[in-house]
Structure 1
Amino acid sequence: MNMPLPPQLPPEGALPSRLGNWLSRRIDGWAHTARHPLYWVGVRDMAGVSVGLAAWAFMTGVAMVGSGMSVGESVLMSLLVFAGSAQLAALPLIAAGAPLWVIFVAALCVNLRFLVFGVHLREYLRFLPRGKRIWLGYFMGDMTYVLFIRRFPHPAETERQRRAQLSYLWGGNCWNWLSWQSLNMLGIFLGAALPARWGLEYAGTLALLAVTCSLITSRVRALAALLAGATAVLAMGLPYRLGLVVAIAVAVLAAVWLERWVEAARKPEPEPDHG
Protein backbone atom coordinates (compact mmCIF):
# COMPACT_ATOMS: atom_id res chain seq x y z
CA MET A 1 0.00 0.00 0.00
CA ASN A 2 1.44 3.32 -1.04
CA MET A 3 1.31 5.97 1.65
CA PRO A 4 0.78 9.58 0.50
CA LEU A 5 3.95 11.60 0.70
CA PRO A 6 3.94 14.61 2.99
CA PRO A 7 4.06 17.98 1.26
CA GLN A 8 7.54 19.07 0.40
CA LEU A 9 8.52 22.11 2.40
CA PRO A 10 11.15 24.50 1.13
CA PRO A 11 14.48 24.04 2.84
CA GLU A 12 15.10 26.18 5.86
CA GLY A 13 16.31 29.62 4.87
CA ALA A 14 15.13 29.31 1.26
CA LEU A 15 12.54 32.09 1.47
CA PRO A 16 14.84 34.62 3.14
CA SER A 17 17.51 33.69 0.61
CA ARG A 18 15.07 34.22 -2.27
CA LEU A 19 14.05 37.61 -0.89
CA GLY A 20 17.68 38.53 -0.40
CA ASN A 21 18.49 37.60 -4.00
CA TRP A 22 15.57 39.68 -5.26
CA LEU A 23 16.68 42.70 -3.23
CA SER A 24 20.25 42.22 -4.38
CA ARG A 25 19.18 42.24 -8.03
CA ARG A 26 17.09 45.37 -7.51
CA ILE A 27 19.95 47.19 -5.78
CA ASP A 28 22.41 46.13 -8.48
CA GLY A 29 20.02 47.34 -11.18
CA TRP A 30 19.52 50.69 -9.47
CA ALA A 31 23.28 51.10 -8.97
CA HIS A 32 23.84 50.36 -12.66
CA THR A 33 21.28 53.00 -13.60
CA ALA A 34 22.58 55.54 -11.07
CA ARG A 35 26.07 55.35 -12.55
CA HIS A 36 24.80 56.90 -15.78
CA PRO A 37 25.43 60.70 -15.91
CA LEU A 38 21.85 61.40 -17.07
CA TYR A 39 20.47 59.82 -13.90
CA TRP A 40 21.83 62.73 -11.88
CA VAL A 41 20.72 65.19 -14.53
CA GLY A 42 17.20 63.88 -13.95
CA VAL A 43 17.65 64.27 -10.19
CA ARG A 44 18.87 67.85 -10.64
CA ASP A 45 16.03 68.81 -12.99
CA MET A 46 13.39 67.33 -10.70
CA ALA A 47 14.96 68.92 -7.60
CA GLY A 48 14.58 72.31 -9.25
CA VAL A 49 10.78 71.98 -9.48
CA SER A 50 10.06 69.82 -6.44
CA VAL A 51 10.30 72.83 -4.12
CA GLY A 52 6.93 73.95 -5.42
CA LEU A 53 5.46 70.54 -4.64
CA ALA A 54 6.69 70.56 -1.04
CA ALA A 55 3.68 72.47 0.31
CA TRP A 56 1.32 70.18 -1.58
CA ALA A 57 2.96 67.04 -0.19
CA PHE A 58 3.05 68.41 3.36
CA MET A 59 -0.55 69.57 3.39
CA THR A 60 -1.77 66.34 1.83
CA GLY A 61 -0.27 64.54 4.82
CA VAL A 62 -2.00 66.95 7.19
CA ALA A 63 -5.30 66.46 5.36
CA MET A 64 -5.11 62.67 5.67
CA VAL A 65 -4.82 62.83 9.46
CA GLY A 66 -7.39 65.63 9.64
CA SER A 67 -9.95 63.53 7.77
CA GLY A 68 -10.04 61.02 10.64
CA MET A 69 -7.52 58.47 9.38
CA SER A 70 -5.02 57.09 11.86
CA VAL A 71 -1.29 57.66 11.49
CA GLY A 72 -0.79 54.07 10.36
CA GLU A 73 -3.56 54.28 7.76
CA SER A 74 -2.21 57.60 6.50
CA VAL A 75 1.32 56.23 6.13
CA LEU A 76 0.01 53.17 4.30
CA MET A 77 -2.08 55.31 1.97
CA SER A 78 0.90 57.56 1.25
CA LEU A 79 3.03 54.57 0.23
CA LEU A 80 0.36 52.72 -1.76
CA VAL A 81 -1.40 55.68 -3.38
CA PHE A 82 1.46 57.74 -4.78
CA ALA A 83 -0.82 60.41 -6.23
CA GLY A 84 -1.63 63.59 -4.34
CA SER A 85 -4.70 64.47 -6.40
CA ALA A 86 -6.16 60.99 -5.92
CA GLN A 87 -5.52 61.20 -2.19
CA LEU A 88 -7.25 64.56 -1.89
CA ALA A 89 -10.20 63.37 -3.97
CA ALA A 90 -10.61 60.22 -1.90
CA LEU A 91 -10.22 61.76 1.57
CA PRO A 92 -13.63 63.51 1.86
CA LEU A 93 -15.31 60.38 0.50
CA ILE A 94 -13.53 58.19 3.04
CA ALA A 95 -14.51 60.59 5.82
CA ALA A 96 -18.14 60.48 4.65
CA GLY A 97 -18.18 56.65 4.60
CA ALA A 98 -18.73 56.46 0.86
CA PRO A 99 -18.79 53.03 -0.83
CA LEU A 100 -15.52 51.72 -2.21
CA TRP A 101 -16.67 52.03 -5.82
CA VAL A 102 -17.41 55.74 -5.38
CA ILE A 103 -13.94 56.34 -3.95
CA PHE A 104 -12.41 54.36 -6.82
CA VAL A 105 -14.35 56.32 -9.46
CA ALA A 106 -13.33 59.67 -7.92
CA ALA A 107 -9.66 58.69 -7.86
CA LEU A 108 -9.93 57.36 -11.41
CA CYS A 109 -11.44 60.60 -12.69
CA VAL A 110 -8.68 62.83 -11.33
CA ASN A 111 -5.96 60.47 -12.59
CA LEU A 112 -7.20 59.95 -16.14
CA ARG A 113 -4.30 62.09 -17.34
CA PHE A 114 -1.92 59.24 -16.49
CA LEU A 115 -3.67 57.13 -19.08
CA VAL A 116 -2.68 59.75 -21.65
CA PHE A 117 0.87 59.77 -20.27
CA GLY A 118 1.05 56.00 -20.57
CA VAL A 119 -0.12 56.00 -24.17
CA HIS A 120 2.47 58.63 -25.04
CA LEU A 121 5.29 56.79 -23.26
CA ARG A 122 4.45 53.43 -24.83
CA GLU A 123 6.90 53.88 -27.69
CA TYR A 124 9.61 54.98 -25.27
CA LEU A 125 9.29 51.99 -22.92
CA ARG A 126 7.95 49.15 -25.04
CA PHE A 127 11.34 47.41 -24.91
CA LEU A 128 10.89 46.80 -21.16
CA PRO A 129 9.05 43.72 -19.80
CA ARG A 130 5.51 44.36 -18.60
CA GLY A 131 6.41 43.98 -14.93
CA LYS A 132 9.13 46.62 -15.17
CA ARG A 133 6.79 48.98 -16.99
CA ILE A 134 4.21 48.61 -14.21
CA TRP A 135 6.90 49.16 -11.58
CA LEU A 136 8.11 52.27 -13.40
CA GLY A 137 4.53 53.52 -13.75
CA TYR A 138 4.08 53.53 -9.96
CA PHE A 139 6.86 56.13 -9.62
CA MET A 140 5.72 58.28 -12.54
CA GLY A 141 4.56 61.79 -11.68
CA ASP A 142 3.26 64.78 -13.59
CA MET A 143 6.49 66.76 -13.51
CA THR A 144 8.75 63.79 -14.21
CA TYR A 145 6.69 63.12 -17.34
CA VAL A 146 6.86 66.76 -18.43
CA LEU A 147 10.62 67.02 -17.86
CA PHE A 148 11.26 63.72 -19.63
CA ILE A 149 9.25 64.63 -22.73
CA ARG A 150 10.83 68.08 -22.86
CA ARG A 151 14.35 66.60 -22.89
CA PHE A 152 13.51 63.64 -25.16
CA PRO A 153 10.88 64.62 -27.73
CA HIS A 154 11.34 61.34 -29.62
CA PRO A 155 11.81 57.70 -28.52
CA ALA A 156 15.29 56.20 -28.55
CA GLU A 157 16.49 54.23 -31.56
CA THR A 158 19.57 52.49 -30.11
CA GLU A 159 20.33 50.57 -26.95
CA ARG A 160 22.63 53.33 -25.75
CA GLN A 161 19.91 55.94 -26.21
CA ARG A 162 17.38 53.74 -24.39
CA ARG A 163 19.66 53.44 -21.39
CA ALA A 164 20.22 57.20 -21.37
CA GLN A 165 16.49 57.97 -21.46
CA LEU A 166 15.65 55.37 -18.84
CA SER A 167 18.41 56.64 -16.53
CA TYR A 168 17.13 60.21 -16.78
CA LEU A 169 13.56 59.09 -16.10
CA TRP A 170 14.57 57.04 -13.08
CA GLY A 171 16.59 59.94 -11.68
CA GLY A 172 13.58 62.24 -11.75
CA ASN A 173 11.25 59.53 -10.45
CA CYS A 174 13.46 58.62 -7.50
CA TRP A 175 13.92 62.21 -6.38
CA ASN A 176 10.21 62.94 -6.83
CA TRP A 177 9.21 59.90 -4.78
CA LEU A 178 11.68 60.58 -1.96
CA SER A 179 10.84 64.28 -1.67
CA TRP A 180 7.08 63.64 -1.80
CA GLN A 181 7.13 60.85 0.76
CA SER A 182 9.40 62.82 3.12
CA LEU A 183 7.14 65.88 3.17
CA ASN A 184 4.00 63.74 3.18
CA MET A 185 5.20 61.82 6.25
CA LEU A 186 6.18 65.06 7.96
CA GLY A 187 2.67 66.37 7.42
CA ILE A 188 1.14 63.15 8.74
CA PHE A 189 3.13 63.11 11.98
CA LEU A 190 2.93 66.85 12.61
CA GLY A 191 -0.77 66.85 11.83
CA ALA A 192 -1.27 64.14 14.44
CA ALA A 193 0.99 65.77 17.04
CA LEU A 194 0.08 69.45 16.85
CA PRO A 195 -3.10 70.74 18.56
CA ALA A 196 -6.15 71.22 16.35
CA ARG A 197 -6.51 74.85 17.54
CA TRP A 198 -3.37 75.75 15.61
CA GLY A 199 -5.43 75.60 12.44
CA LEU A 200 -2.90 73.60 10.45
CA GLU A 201 -5.66 72.13 8.28
CA TYR A 202 -6.89 75.61 7.36
CA ALA A 203 -3.36 76.63 6.42
CA GLY A 204 -3.11 73.48 4.35
CA THR A 205 -6.31 74.37 2.50
CA LEU A 206 -4.93 77.81 1.67
CA ALA A 207 -1.64 76.33 0.46
CA LEU A 208 -3.41 73.83 -1.78
CA LEU A 209 -5.63 76.61 -3.12
CA ALA A 210 -2.52 78.61 -4.01
CA VAL A 211 -1.00 75.60 -5.79
CA THR A 212 -4.25 75.07 -7.71
CA CYS A 213 -4.50 78.70 -8.78
CA SER A 214 -0.90 78.63 -10.03
CA LEU A 215 -1.90 75.87 -12.47
CA ILE A 216 -4.57 78.05 -14.12
CA THR A 217 -2.46 79.39 -16.96
CA SER A 218 -5.05 79.78 -19.71
CA ARG A 219 -8.63 80.94 -20.20
CA VAL A 220 -9.79 77.40 -20.86
CA ARG A 221 -8.35 76.19 -17.55
CA ALA A 222 -9.84 79.18 -15.73
CA LEU A 223 -13.28 78.45 -17.15
CA ALA A 224 -12.93 74.75 -16.30
CA ALA A 225 -11.99 75.66 -12.72
CA LEU A 226 -15.00 77.98 -12.41
CA LEU A 227 -17.33 75.31 -13.79
CA ALA A 228 -15.91 72.74 -11.38
CA GLY A 229 -16.39 75.06 -8.41
CA ALA A 230 -19.93 76.03 -9.40
CA THR A 231 -20.90 72.40 -10.04
CA ALA A 232 -19.44 71.31 -6.70
CA VAL A 233 -21.53 73.95 -4.88
CA LEU A 234 -24.75 73.07 -6.75
CA ALA A 235 -24.22 69.34 -6.24
CA MET A 236 -23.26 69.66 -2.58
CA GLY A 237 -26.41 67.86 -1.48
CA LEU A 238 -25.62 64.62 -3.32
CA PRO A 239 -24.87 61.67 -1.03
CA TYR A 240 -21.36 60.31 -0.46
CA ARG A 241 -19.81 63.57 -1.71
CA LEU A 242 -20.68 62.60 -5.27
CA GLY A 243 -20.78 66.29 -6.05
CA LEU A 244 -16.98 66.17 -6.30
CA VAL A 245 -17.14 63.42 -8.91
CA VAL A 246 -19.78 65.31 -10.89
CA ALA A 247 -17.74 68.52 -10.71
CA ILE A 248 -14.62 66.73 -12.00
CA ALA A 249 -16.55 65.17 -14.89
CA VAL A 250 -18.13 68.51 -15.87
CA ALA A 251 -14.79 70.31 -15.77
CA VAL A 252 -12.98 67.64 -17.82
CA LEU A 253 -15.70 67.47 -20.49
CA ALA A 254 -15.94 71.25 -20.69
CA ALA A 255 -12.15 71.65 -20.99
CA VAL A 256 -11.93 69.03 -23.75
CA TRP A 257 -14.76 70.64 -25.72
CA LEU A 258 -13.38 74.15 -25.28
CA GLU A 259 -9.89 73.14 -26.36
CA ARG A 260 -11.27 71.53 -29.50
CA TRP A 261 -13.38 74.62 -30.22
CA VAL A 262 -10.36 76.94 -29.76
CA GLU A 263 -8.21 74.77 -32.03
CA ALA A 264 -10.92 74.75 -34.70
CA ALA A 265 -11.27 78.52 -34.45
CA ARG A 266 -7.54 79.02 -34.90
CA LYS A 267 -7.38 77.01 -38.13
CA PRO A 268 -7.28 79.33 -41.14
CA GLU A 269 -10.25 79.08 -43.45
CA PRO A 270 -9.46 77.74 -46.93
CA GLU A 271 -9.21 80.41 -49.56
CA PRO A 272 -11.96 80.35 -52.16
CA ASP A 273 -11.03 78.90 -55.50
CA HIS A 274 -11.55 81.56 -58.16
CA GLY A 275 -10.79 79.15 -60.95
Structure 2
Amino acid sequence: MSSPVPHWQHPEFRRGARDMVGIALGIGAWGLVTGMAMVKSGLGLPLSLMMSMLVFAGSAQLAALPLIAAGAPIWVVWATAICVNLRFVIFSAGWRPYFGHLPRRQRLVLSYFTADLNYVCFMRRFPEPRPEEGQLPYFWGGVAVNWTAWHVLSITGIFLADVIPSQWGLGFAGVLALLGLTGSLLSDKATWVAAVVAGCASVAAYAMPLKLNIVIAIAAAVAVGVMMDHAKQALAGRTTGGAP
Protein backbone atom coordinates (compact mmCIF):
# COMPACT_ATOMS: atom_id res chain seq x y z
CA MET A 1 0.00 0.00 0.00
CA SER A 2 1.71 3.16 -1.16
CA SER A 3 2.33 6.09 1.18
CA PRO A 4 1.06 9.58 0.25
CA VAL A 5 4.35 11.13 1.39
CA PRO A 6 7.98 10.15 0.71
CA HIS A 7 9.08 7.24 2.87
CA TRP A 8 11.68 9.26 4.75
CA GLN A 9 9.06 11.84 5.79
CA HIS A 10 6.57 9.26 7.07
CA PRO A 11 6.28 8.86 10.88
CA GLU A 12 6.83 5.11 10.52
CA PHE A 13 10.25 5.77 8.99
CA ARG A 14 11.34 7.47 12.20
CA ARG A 15 9.83 4.70 14.28
CA GLY A 16 11.65 2.04 12.29
CA ALA A 17 14.91 3.91 12.73
CA ARG A 18 14.36 4.30 16.49
CA ASP A 19 13.62 0.60 16.90
CA MET A 20 16.97 -0.25 15.30
CA VAL A 21 19.17 2.29 17.10
CA GLY A 22 19.81 0.17 20.19
CA ILE A 23 20.46 -2.95 18.12
CA ALA A 24 22.82 -1.06 15.80
CA LEU A 25 25.60 -1.07 18.42
CA GLY A 26 25.88 -4.86 18.29
CA ILE A 27 25.55 -4.88 14.51
CA GLY A 28 28.31 -2.29 14.21
CA ALA A 29 30.63 -4.25 16.52
CA TRP A 30 30.15 -7.37 14.42
CA GLY A 31 30.71 -5.36 11.24
CA LEU A 32 34.00 -4.04 12.63
CA VAL A 33 35.22 -7.56 13.40
CA THR A 34 34.10 -8.81 9.99
CA GLY A 35 35.92 -6.00 8.19
CA MET A 36 39.12 -6.75 10.05
CA ALA A 37 38.77 -10.49 9.42
CA MET A 38 38.47 -9.99 5.67
CA VAL A 39 41.76 -8.11 5.44
CA LYS A 40 43.60 -10.36 7.89
CA SER A 41 42.50 -13.43 5.92
CA GLY A 42 44.43 -12.12 2.91
CA LEU A 43 41.66 -10.74 0.70
CA GLY A 44 43.26 -7.33 0.41
CA LEU A 45 41.62 -3.91 0.46
CA PRO A 46 39.76 -3.87 -2.91
CA LEU A 47 38.25 -7.36 -2.55
CA SER A 48 37.36 -6.74 1.08
CA LEU A 49 35.48 -3.55 0.17
CA MET A 50 33.71 -5.30 -2.70
CA MET A 51 32.73 -8.27 -0.53
CA SER A 52 31.44 -5.98 2.21
CA MET A 53 29.25 -3.97 -0.16
CA LEU A 54 27.97 -6.80 -2.36
CA VAL A 55 27.53 -9.71 0.02
CA PHE A 56 26.09 -7.76 2.99
CA ALA A 57 25.82 -10.90 5.14
CA GLY A 58 28.28 -11.02 8.00
CA SER A 59 27.73 -14.64 9.01
CA ALA A 60 28.19 -15.84 5.42
CA GLN A 61 31.31 -13.72 5.05
CA LEU A 62 32.90 -15.08 8.21
CA ALA A 63 31.98 -18.64 7.27
CA ALA A 64 33.50 -18.26 3.80
CA LEU A 65 36.70 -16.45 4.81
CA PRO A 66 38.58 -19.40 6.39
CA LEU A 67 37.60 -21.57 3.42
CA ILE A 68 38.96 -18.98 0.97
CA ALA A 69 42.15 -18.63 3.01
CA ALA A 70 42.59 -22.42 3.08
CA GLY A 71 42.14 -22.67 -0.70
CA ALA A 72 38.94 -24.71 -0.48
CA PRO A 73 37.14 -25.55 -3.73
CA ILE A 74 34.79 -22.80 -4.82
CA TRP A 75 31.77 -25.11 -4.57
CA VAL A 76 32.50 -25.62 -0.88
CA VAL A 77 32.67 -21.85 -0.35
CA TRP A 78 29.40 -21.31 -2.19
CA ALA A 79 27.66 -24.22 -0.46
CA THR A 80 28.71 -22.96 2.96
CA ALA A 81 27.53 -19.42 2.23
CA ILE A 82 24.21 -20.69 0.89
CA CYS A 83 23.63 -22.92 3.91
CA VAL A 84 24.44 -20.10 6.32
CA ASN A 85 21.96 -17.83 4.51
CA LEU A 86 19.14 -20.38 4.24
CA ARG A 87 17.31 -18.48 6.98
CA PHE A 88 16.61 -15.71 4.48
CA VAL A 89 14.36 -18.09 2.57
CA ILE A 90 12.22 -18.27 5.70
CA PHE A 91 12.37 -14.50 6.10
CA SER A 92 11.28 -14.05 2.50
CA ALA A 93 8.30 -16.32 3.03
CA GLY A 94 7.39 -14.31 6.12
CA TRP A 95 7.60 -11.01 4.24
CA ARG A 96 5.60 -12.23 1.25
CA PRO A 97 2.14 -11.33 2.67
CA TYR A 98 3.39 -7.78 3.24
CA PHE A 99 5.37 -7.09 0.07
CA GLY A 100 4.22 -9.76 -2.39
CA HIS A 101 2.02 -7.27 -4.22
CA LEU A 102 4.95 -5.00 -5.10
CA PRO A 103 6.65 -5.08 -8.53
CA ARG A 104 9.43 -7.66 -8.86
CA ARG A 105 12.14 -5.03 -9.32
CA GLN A 106 11.15 -3.34 -6.08
CA ARG A 107 11.09 -6.67 -4.25
CA LEU A 108 14.61 -7.43 -5.50
CA VAL A 109 15.81 -4.13 -4.07
CA LEU A 110 14.15 -4.90 -0.75
CA SER A 111 15.76 -8.34 -0.69
CA TYR A 112 19.27 -6.86 -0.75
CA PHE A 113 18.62 -4.74 2.33
CA THR A 114 16.81 -7.33 4.43
CA ALA A 115 18.55 -8.51 7.59
CA ASP A 116 17.82 -10.64 10.63
CA LEU A 117 17.01 -7.89 13.10
CA ASN A 118 15.06 -5.87 10.53
CA TYR A 119 12.82 -8.90 10.17
CA VAL A 120 12.35 -9.27 13.93
CA CYS A 121 11.51 -5.59 14.45
CA PHE A 122 9.17 -5.52 11.46
CA MET A 123 7.21 -8.56 12.59
CA ARG A 124 6.81 -7.09 16.07
CA ARG A 125 5.52 -3.84 14.61
CA PHE A 126 3.18 -5.49 12.08
CA PRO A 127 2.10 -8.87 13.48
CA GLU A 128 -0.85 -9.22 11.10
CA PRO A 129 0.35 -10.68 7.74
CA ARG A 130 -1.33 -8.20 5.40
CA PRO A 131 -0.31 -4.98 3.62
CA GLU A 132 -0.85 -1.86 5.70
CA GLU A 133 -0.09 1.84 5.52
CA GLY A 134 3.41 2.64 6.80
CA GLN A 135 5.04 -0.76 6.29
CA LEU A 136 7.49 0.34 3.61
CA PRO A 137 8.51 3.52 5.48
CA TYR A 138 9.06 1.46 8.64
CA PHE A 139 11.13 -1.06 6.68
CA TRP A 140 13.32 1.67 5.16
CA GLY A 141 13.74 3.43 8.49
CA GLY A 142 15.16 0.30 10.05
CA VAL A 143 17.27 -0.42 6.98
CA ALA A 144 18.76 3.08 7.04
CA VAL A 145 20.14 2.50 10.54
CA ASN A 146 21.09 -1.17 10.08
CA TRP A 147 22.81 -0.77 6.69
CA THR A 148 24.68 2.36 7.78
CA ALA A 149 25.85 0.89 11.10
CA TRP A 150 27.10 -2.27 9.41
CA HIS A 151 28.98 -0.65 6.54
CA VAL A 152 30.47 2.27 8.46
CA LEU A 153 32.02 -0.10 11.00
CA SER A 154 32.82 -2.82 8.46
CA ILE A 155 34.71 -0.36 6.24
CA THR A 156 36.39 1.08 9.34
CA GLY A 157 37.59 -2.42 10.23
CA ILE A 158 38.86 -2.94 6.68
CA PHE A 159 40.96 0.22 6.71
CA LEU A 160 42.19 -0.21 10.30
CA ALA A 161 42.82 -3.97 10.19
CA ASP A 162 46.59 -3.49 10.20
CA VAL A 163 46.42 -0.80 12.88
CA ILE A 164 44.14 -2.30 15.53
CA PRO A 165 46.08 -4.91 17.53
CA SER A 166 44.62 -8.39 17.76
CA GLN A 167 45.38 -8.25 21.49
CA TRP A 168 42.42 -5.92 21.95
CA GLY A 169 40.17 -8.95 21.83
CA LEU A 170 37.77 -7.56 19.26
CA GLY A 171 37.19 -11.04 17.90
CA PHE A 172 35.79 -12.10 21.26
CA ALA A 173 33.71 -8.90 21.38
CA GLY A 174 32.33 -9.78 17.96
CA VAL A 175 31.39 -13.25 19.16
CA LEU A 176 29.56 -11.72 22.11
CA ALA A 177 27.77 -9.32 19.78
CA LEU A 178 26.69 -12.19 17.55
CA LEU A 179 25.48 -14.17 20.55
CA GLY A 180 23.43 -11.17 21.61
CA LEU A 181 21.87 -10.88 18.17
CA THR A 182 21.20 -14.61 18.07
CA GLY A 183 19.57 -14.54 21.48
CA SER A 184 17.08 -11.93 20.33
CA LEU A 185 15.92 -14.33 17.59
CA LEU A 186 15.20 -17.21 19.99
CA SER A 187 11.56 -16.37 20.52
CA ASP A 188 9.92 -19.78 20.98
CA LYS A 189 10.58 -23.42 21.80
CA ALA A 190 11.23 -24.43 18.18
CA THR A 191 13.99 -21.86 17.67
CA TRP A 192 15.61 -22.78 20.99
CA VAL A 193 15.62 -26.47 20.12
CA ALA A 194 17.06 -25.75 16.65
CA ALA A 195 19.78 -23.55 18.17
CA VAL A 196 20.78 -26.20 20.72
CA VAL A 197 20.86 -28.91 18.04
CA ALA A 198 22.99 -26.69 15.78
CA GLY A 199 25.44 -25.98 18.60
CA CYS A 200 25.77 -29.66 19.53
CA ALA A 201 26.19 -30.72 15.90
CA SER A 202 28.83 -28.05 15.30
CA VAL A 203 30.87 -29.17 18.30
CA ALA A 204 30.48 -32.87 17.45
CA ALA A 205 31.67 -32.30 13.87
CA TYR A 206 34.39 -29.81 14.78
CA ALA A 207 37.14 -32.05 13.42
CA MET A 208 35.67 -31.95 9.90
CA PRO A 209 37.96 -30.27 7.34
CA LEU A 210 37.22 -26.92 5.65
CA LYS A 211 34.85 -25.85 8.46
CA LEU A 212 32.23 -28.28 7.17
CA ASN A 213 30.94 -28.58 10.74
CA ILE A 214 29.10 -25.30 10.04
CA VAL A 215 27.24 -26.87 7.12
CA ILE A 216 26.41 -29.96 9.22
CA ALA A 217 25.13 -27.80 12.08
CA ILE A 218 22.88 -25.80 9.77
CA ALA A 219 21.53 -28.94 8.08
CA ALA A 220 20.78 -30.50 11.48
CA ALA A 221 18.99 -27.36 12.71
CA VAL A 222 16.90 -27.08 9.54
CA ALA A 223 15.97 -30.79 9.72
CA VAL A 224 14.87 -30.46 13.35
CA GLY A 225 12.93 -27.29 12.57
CA VAL A 226 11.08 -28.97 9.69
CA MET A 227 10.28 -32.03 11.82
CA MET A 228 8.92 -29.88 14.64
CA ASP A 229 6.84 -27.85 12.21
CA HIS A 230 5.31 -30.99 10.68
CA ALA A 231 4.64 -32.40 14.13
CA LYS A 232 2.93 -29.17 15.17
CA GLN A 233 0.74 -29.20 12.07
CA ALA A 234 -0.18 -32.86 12.60
CA LEU A 235 -1.09 -32.17 16.23
CA ALA A 236 -3.21 -29.17 15.22
CA GLY A 237 -4.99 -31.32 12.62
CA ARG A 238 -5.83 -34.01 15.16
CA THR A 239 -6.99 -31.41 17.67
CA THR A 240 -9.40 -29.78 15.23
CA GLY A 241 -10.50 -33.13 13.80
CA GLY A 242 -9.17 -32.29 10.33
CA ALA A 243 -6.63 -34.01 8.18
CA PRO A 244 -3.00 -33.35 9.17
Per the normalisation by structure 2, the TM-score is 0.80
| 1:107 counterpart = 2:77 | no
Q: Residue 130 of structure 2 is aligned with which of 155, 176, 186?
A: 155
**For the pair shown, which has the larger CA radius of gyration, 1 or 2?**
1
Q: Residue 165 of structure 2 is aligned with which of 195, 199, 212?
A: 195
CA distance in 2, matches of 1:196, 1:52: 19
Bigger relative contact order (CA 8 A; separation at least 6): 2
CA distance in 2, matches of 1:253, 1:151: 29
CA distance in 2, matches of 1:178, 1:219: 33
Q: Which structure 2 residues correspond to residues 1-275 of structure 1 after superposition, within 5 A? A: 32-152=6-126, 153-156=128-131, 161=133, 164-209=134-179, 211-212=181-182, 221-258=191-228, 261=231
Letter in 2 for 1:156: P
CA distance in 2, matches of 1:168, 1:206: 28
CA distance in 2, matches of 1:49, 1:203: 15
Q: Is the 8 A contact 2:29 2:173 kept in 1?
A: no
Q: How far apart are residue 123 of structure 1 and its match?
A: 2.9
Gaps of 5+ in 2: none
Q: Taking structure 1 as reference, are residues 239 and 262 closer, same or farther at Cα in structure 2, changes over 3 Å only?
A: same
CA distance in 1, matches of 2:68, 2:21: 32
Q: Bigger CA drift: 133-142 or 202-211?
A: 202-211
Q: Bigger CA drift: 72-81 or 257-266?
A: 257-266
Q: Is the 8 A contact 2:8 2:141 kept in 1?
A: yes
CA distance in 2, matches of 1:233, 1:148: 33
1:156 counterpart SS class: coil
Q: Bigger CA drift: 231-240 or 138-147?
A: 231-240
CA distance in 1, matches of 2:172, 2:202: 19
CA distance in 2, matches of 1:218, 1:132: 32
Q: How far apart are residue 125 of structure 1 and its match?
A: 1.8
Q: Taking structure 1 as reference, are residues 173 and 213 closer, same or farther at Cα in structure 2, changes over 3 Å only?
A: closer
For residues 174-225 of structure 1, what are the alpha-carbon distances to aligned partners after superposition, in whole Å with 9 as ceiling and x for unaligned?
A: 2211111112122222323223454543544455455546655666555544
Letter in 2 for 1:135: V
2:16 counterpart SS class: helix
Per the normalisation by structure 1, the TM-score is 0.72
Supply the RMSD in Å over aligned alpha carbons: 3.0
